[in-house]
Every structure is written in structure tokens, then in C-alpha cells.
Structure 1
Amino acid sequence: MTPSSAPGVKRKRSTYLGASLLVLAATAAVCAWRLRPAPPSPAGPLEQVTIAATAEYVGVCPIIAANANGYFAEQGIVARIQPHASGKSALDATLQGKADLGTVADIPIMFAALKAVPVVVVATIFRTEKDHGLVARRDRGIDSVASLKGKRVGVMLGTSAHFVLDAMLNRQGLAPGDVVKRNLRPEEFAAALASGEVDAIATWEPFLDSLRAGLGNNAMSVYSEDIYEIPYNLAATRDYVGHHPETLKKVLRALIEGARFCESAPDAARALMGAGRKLDNSRWKVLWPAYRFQIALDQGLLLALEDETRWAVANKLSDQTAMPNYFDYVYLDALEAVAPAAVTIIH
């Protein structure tokens, strides 16, 4: 048997060929999308829009795609993506006037509404159940959510991860007070878990994946499937939507194209999201079928916000006890004008 005909060599060549084909397929998909017939150039000057976004979070794929593939430019928008580590931080930047729009899950919106902050959801851009969860240290005797009782859990309070942690505990017959919560920022998670400052971390991807990798065989991890489906949103202040209705229509048109790209060209979308970032594309490939990239406003968002309000009030996380009218915290006009079928909120 010659060296070139050895089974090991054949397997290597097959592996290299397979990897090359995947790269070519992703490149071809990007080219196909970019070489599609372009619409007429927008009339008038380009308009800059700053979007505060969790740039390494998969839910912002429609925004990243719209920017990289020129969908914003086609609408006359110059998008400036302002990176943030969490949706809560992105929303804060939007409310402080440091950004025009922000990407955020439902929990920070709920807390803002309880304080009567004039914020509105312009559209939900992403949904999935395989996103939030928990990573714990097995050497601390943790092999399930039920074994968290009495343990120290790091979590960013006031976020969707906080809500999910309590929901996971409740599913196991545990109360929120049965664990010791440590309020940590996402950038503090890895060091706190590695040093043993906390026994577990409740968070979302991509932090779950990096924490699992950091602990190796010592990691116990679980997703919050059947407990929580995150609605990831694009939000703005009421003042901004009142003064920029046409801008929002342009942004949403671009995001509809971006979401279509993320759904229809998954290999290219993953390559685009991973470009220049330390993200595990192979992990995304496994999870991608569970991701829904769709620009919408549906009744489920309002129902989720109401459920979360009851949780916040019951756990005394807010001084307010009255249920907000969440219809006042969504902005329907822009999406109704661009894609009326995408709006299913009863009104």
C-alpha cells in the first residue's frame, strides 16, 4: 500500500475536501445574496441611525446581515452598530440618548414599563427556547437544577436570565430564596465561576458556551427549554418614534431582508456573525434550527410581559404593583405600514 492510498490519508483528504466545500458554499451563498438585483438608489441624503446591540449575540443576526449585505444602505440608512454586553445595557444607552435604537429582551422592557419609562418595542426580531440556561460546577455537588439549593448563583439581576433562573427553580419546587444570587455583569461571569466565587451562572448564549468550555468535564449545563422562549426586540423611546416614523419604516424594511438572509442562508449567516469574533460556529450549527429570525409584533409578547410583571411583583422586585397597559409599550405604525401581516397584536 502506497502512502497516498493509506486509509488515514484518504480520511484526511475527505475532511479537507468537506471543509473546503463548506467554505465555498458559505461564500457562494453570500455572493448570491449580494449579487441579487439591487433596488433603485434611495433619493436624498443618507441618514445615520445608531443601534445599541449585543453584537456577539445570535439574535442580532438580522441587524448584522442588514448592515454587512447593504440592506440598510439600500434604504438610505447608514447604520452604526454600538456594541454592548447585554440587552439591558443596550436599552440603557437608548434611553439615555446615546443610541437611537436598542436590542433587548422582554424583561428589561417590563421593568422599564413598571417605572413608566417612555420606551416602546418597534419589533421582535428573534425568538428561541435554546438560548438561556445554566452552567454549574459539578465539583460543588451540582448535577441538576434541583441540586442548586443553598448554592451561590451568579446572574445579572433585572434581566431575562434572572427570570429564567427563578422559573427553573420553580419547576423543581424551589423558591427564589433557596439560592444565593450574586449580581454579576456578563464580563465577570467566567472569572467568578472559575475561581469558585459562585457555584453556577445563569445566563444566555454565547456566555453559556464559553462557560461550558472553561469548565470542561466539570461543567453541568442545561437549557431552559419549555420554560422560556426569548422574544428579542428592537426598542426605542416614544420621542424617537414620534419624530422618526419614516426612518423606522426604512430600518424595518432592511431588517426584514436581514432576517430572511439569516433564515435562508444559515451557513453564510453563521460565517457573517462569526467574522472577527471569537464565536463557536460549530455550536451555532447545531442550535441554528431552533432559531427563528422574523420581524414581527405578536400578542405573545404582551402576554409574556404580563406574566413577567406578576413574577416581579410577587418577588418584590419593584415598588409598583399595578399591571401596566403593555399596549402602550409597543409601536405598531411602522411595521404595519411595511409588513401588515407581521403585526398580530389585537388592536
Structure 2
Amino acid sequence: MKSIRALGRRTAGLFLALSLVSVATGCGGGSSDAADGGPRKVRFGYIADYSGSVALAVAQKQGLWKKSGVTPELKVFTNGPLQVQALGSGSLDFGYLGPGALWLPASGRASIVSVNMLGLADRVIARPGSGIEKPADLKGKKVAVAEGTSGDMILDLALSEAGLKPDDVTKVAMDASTVVTAFSSGKVDAAATWYPLIDTMRKNVPGLKEISRTEDYYPKLTFPNVFVTQPKLASGNSELVKKVTGVLKQAGDWIAAHPEESESVAADFLKLPAGQLKGSTRYVKLLPSAELTKLSKDGTVDGWFDELAAMFGRMGKLPKPGKAEDYYLGDLYAEAGKADRS
């Protein structure tokens, strides 16, 4: 299979590229068969929002892990790059990345086992009275953005669409929560961020304008969020990776069939008040596994990742991007879960 073969070309020396961090996971070993023949344990990272947790929440609630003979040890992270560092150090087996971190697989630091869903939540927004009505009007304005996120990506797209360069605006880098505060208080003219944060900002700034939206660039450019694994685990224990990917496929199919209910399942998993994640599915495109398998086989998904890699190259994050066929395990995805469903 081409994706598994390609791993051999990219594995050597990969982990020298990372600054390793120690992540407490409650499990000292890697993924392997239990000594007594029991369930195989995997250490799985996630982010505590809807997209970053819902598949794991559904897999847990539906008993999908037990059916597959896999026991997950779940660890919450605040972002994707920390998970990739943990994969590189061997203290994590699988993780979740939002679109802003997809330059990491493209640089060979992780292997993508599955697309989770496509994000549609990102926007460049402007304050009323700022004089900003379209992307070209951003020139000379202060724009708040959390660098390295999908907000950074939508800003790059908006500027490129208008023929502007990054230094044509005053980019004010800050974390995502501070973007909300800075925009709401009028310290910046515009912001590149996402829903549901924009819902909060709209309450504080009635009449804010959406200048650029994720959907403006779809389907030529997509913002997938994904599940990843260690390249050496994908090449050395592909059967275990298939088992885990099969669980994710089943969970994804349930989510696609029950979108509103999935919001409640995720909220319960995250111990949030009932209804707090209501409406989350308005800002994602859910892909059943049959559709994603078809899009993987015909090269569409590879095209998504290659287009994003080109964008990361423009942004200076990825000087020498790999091809998607080297880090998206589409053939493994297509095969995963067949035995469990038969």
C-alpha cells in the first residue's frame, strides 16, 4: 500500500526535528498487545471542544472501544502541536489536530489516519465604523489573530484574495481568548477567529461584519481536522492502527447520522452543562466513512492536504512540504474496520 511504503522514506530522523516534552498520560508503555491477551491499550490525546472530543465521546458511549478490543487512555491537551510533541517523545499514540496544526504532518512529524470533519467556523470580522467592508479594506488596519491557528489561515486567505501582503496589515498576535477581549474593547479594527468565540463577540459588538468566511474557499480549499498517530506506530503496528481507525470511522458515522444528539454526548463527555455545545454542528461538515473513503481513493483528500501545504509554505511555516500521499494513510483508512463491521 503506497501510504505505508511511503512511511519508510520519511521515518528516519523524524524525531530529531522535535523538541521533546514530557506528558503525563498515566501509562508508561507504548501501544502493544496486553501480556495476558487482554485489550490493547492506546494513549489518545484530544482537545476539550466539540470537534476535538466528539468522536471519542461517541466511541465511549457506544462501547466501540470494547467491541474492537482496544482500551484507550485519554489525555486532554490545549492544542495540536503539544500532541505532536508527545507523539514524537513516545508518550502518546494517537491525537487530534485542528487545521492550523496540519503543517506538522506535512513536515513528516505525524501520520494522519482519518479526517474527523471539515471546519466551517472561521471568519475575518470587522468592527462597525472601522471602514472595513471587504478584504481589501484590511490594508493598514490592526487585526487580532491567534498565530498558528485556523484564524491565522483565514486571514492569510483573505489577504491573498485582496492582493495584500501580510505586512500590509498590523497583525496583533495574541491567544484566542484575548482576541475576544481586544476586539470587543475596540483595541483592534478586525479579528481573524472562529465560532463560537464570535457569538460572544457579537454580543459585545452588535453589528460586527463578516469579511471573509471559510465557505468562501470551499471546496478548493478545506479546513479539515484530523486524527494522527506516530509514523513509527503506523509502519510497525498497522493492525493496531487499523483497529483504532475503525473505531473512529464507526463513531464518525454515528455522528453524521445523529448530529444534534452528538452535541449532547460531547457536552456530557466534557462535563459541560447540557446544551452548552448546542449548534456546534452548524459550523462543521460531517463526512460519513463511505464518502470519505471514496474521496480518499479518488485523490480528493490528498488534494485538500496538498493545497493546505502550499498555503503553509506561503505563510513560512513549511519550507519543504511533503506530499499528502506520504503522510495521509488513505489506503489504511479504507481498509480499517472491515472485520469489525462484518
Please report the TM-score for the alignment, with normalisation by the length of structure 2.
0.72
Aligned-partner Cα distance in 2 for 1:54–1:293: 22
Q: Is the 8 A contact 2:84 2:110 kept in 1?
A: no
Aligned-partner Cα distance in 1 for 2:45–2:334: 23
Identify the residue that residue 217 of structure 1 maps to in structure 2.
206
Q: Is the 8 A contact 1:101 1:236 kept in 2?
A: yes
Of 329, 333, 336, which aligns to 1:335? 333
Structure 1 stretches of at least 4 aligned residues deviating more than 6 Å after TM superposition:
none
Deviation at 1:329, TM superposition (A): 1.3
Structure 1 residue 194 and structure 2 residue 184: aligned? yes
Which segment is superposed worse, 262-271 or 182-191?
182-191
Question: Deviations 1:255-305 (Å, cap 9, x if unpaired)?
Answer: 1221111111223112112333367544336456x4335464722333233
Question: Deviations 1:7-32 (Å, cap 9, x if unpaired)?
Answer: xxxxxxxxxxxxxxxxxxxxxxxxxx
Q: Is the 8 A contact 2:118 2:223 kept in 1?
A: yes
Deviation at 1:225, TM superposition (A): 0.9
Deviation at 1:210, TM superposition (A): 3.5
Identify the residue that residue 26 of structure 1 maps to in structure 2.
none
Structure 1 residue 304 and structure 2 residue 320: aligned? no
Q: Which has the larger radius of gyration?
A: 1
Deviation at 1:217, TM superposition (A): 0.6
Identify the residue that residue 111 of structure 2 maps to in structure 1.
120
Taking only the aligned residue pairs, the percentage that are identical comes to: 22
Aligned-partner Cα distance in 1 for 2:78–2:288: 20
Aligned-partner Cα distance in 2 for 1:287–1:310: 24
Aligned-partner Cα distance in 1 for 2:126–2:260: 31
Aligned-partner Cα distance in 2 for 1:155–1:59: 21
Deviation at 1:126, TM superposition (A): 1.1
Deviation at 1:330, TM superposition (A): 2.2
Q: Is the 8 A contact 1:125 1:232 kept in 2?
A: yes
Extract unaligned runs of 5+ from structure 1: 1-42, 341-347
Of 69, 74, 83, which aligns to 2:76? 83
Code of the residue aligned with 1:327 in structure 2: it is E
**Partner SS state of residue 217, structure 1:** coil
Identify the residue that residue 280 of structure 2 maps to in structure 1.
284
Aligned-partner Cα distance in 2 for 1:328–1:285: 31
Please report the TM-score for the alignment, with normalisation by the length of structure 1.
0.71
Aligned-partner Cα distance in 1 for 2:280–2:100: 24
Q: Is the 8 A contact 1:137 1:200 kept in 2?
A: yes
The 1:45–1:339 alpha-carbon spacing in structure 2 relative to 1, beyond 3 Å, is closer
Deviation at 1:65, TM superposition (A): 0.9
Of 269, 275, 279, which aligns to 2:262? 269
Deviation at 1:144, TM superposition (A): 4.0
Deviation at 1:216, TM superposition (A): 4.0
**Partner SS state of residue 201, structure 1:** strand
Q: Is the 8 A contact 1:52 1:94 kept in 2?
A: no
Extract unaligned runs of 5+ from structure 2: 1-35
**Partner SS state of residue 138, structure 1:** coil
Aligned-partner Cα distance in 2 for 1:96–1:206: 33
Of 137, 155, 165, which aligns to 1:175? 165
Question: Deviations 1:25-55 (Å, cap 9, x if unpaired)?
Answer: xxxxxxxxxxxxxxxxxx9422332222222
